[in-house]
Amino acid sequence: MQHVGLKARMAVVGSILFAFYALVAIIAVEAFGVGIPIVLLGTIGFAGFQYVVGKKVALWSAGAEDMPEERYPDIHRAVERIADDMNLDKPRLMVADMGVPNAFAVGRRGAGVVVVSSELIRLLDRDELEGVLAHELAHIDNRDVIMMVMGQSIASMLGLAAYFAIAFSREGGIGNIVLGYLASVVVQMVAMVFVLAISRYREYVADSDAAQHVGGDAMARALQKISTAGQRSNAELDDNVAALCIFGGERSSLERIFATHPPIERRIAAVRDVERSYY
């Protein structure tokens, strides 16, 4: 589906992050004498490493295993149907015992992976589960998973650049190392504010896409059940995995500033609006 708002936001955030990176690259070249080819190769290598390793780490952290088609035929058929509607290649399906009902997608169009927790399969009715599957396929279709990974990569590069620029300045000393560490944290936080803004918006878009496939009521019920069960569970997901999941956990008012997901009640209201728009 065409989502002008999401694409425009990704373009703006990507441009801002690239501008940050370009500034760091200029400083590296001018102040530290690093060659432009080294800067370019380092950037491509680091981003590629982050993309490949980040995907594998997410799957490993969740304990994901391939989902046997003979054991989960309904899920495979549902994904095939929804993927066909979205003009997507069927992604690789995996299942994991996460301790909470959840799901997430990694990869890109043509090489996507959707992971569904066994707890989610037991919790949801058929139409609700199909809504979650459609939500994850929408992330792959909209290419926002790649944007998240690349955004996090650039934020990490900015943090590393800030650390080395201060920690290994001419004055040196333990004080500079501490200041370098603090500066890297602050720089990464500033860069991630832009990435997280995209993260929250992309959840609304994926919810809307899913609601158009299964109906807003089914999607709303799925979100409510997942949220309620998640609040009752003591299981904690790795932060990198939680950022990709359909439910990122409840947050305090302060934590919501840096949350990867919008409040669940707003998401439920939004998908019910999608339902009403068809009548």
d(Cα 151, Cα 146) in Å, to the nearest integer?
A: 8
Q: Is 90 helix (H, G, I), strand (E, B) or coil?
A: coil
Query: Which letter does DSSP use for residue 91 in this model?
Result: P
Whether 255 is catalytic: no
d(Cα 112, Cα 92) in Å, to the nearest integer?
A: 6
Q: How many C-beta neighbours within 10 Å does residue 59 have? A: 20
Nearest to 107 by CA among 66, 65, 45, 59: 59
Find tokens 């496939």 and name the residue.
213
- Give me the count of residues in the chain: 279
d(Cα 61, Cα 246) in Å, to the nearest integer?
A: 16
- Per the residue annotation, which of 119, 128, 130, 136 is the catalytic one? 136
Which amino acids are annotated catalytic?
A: 136
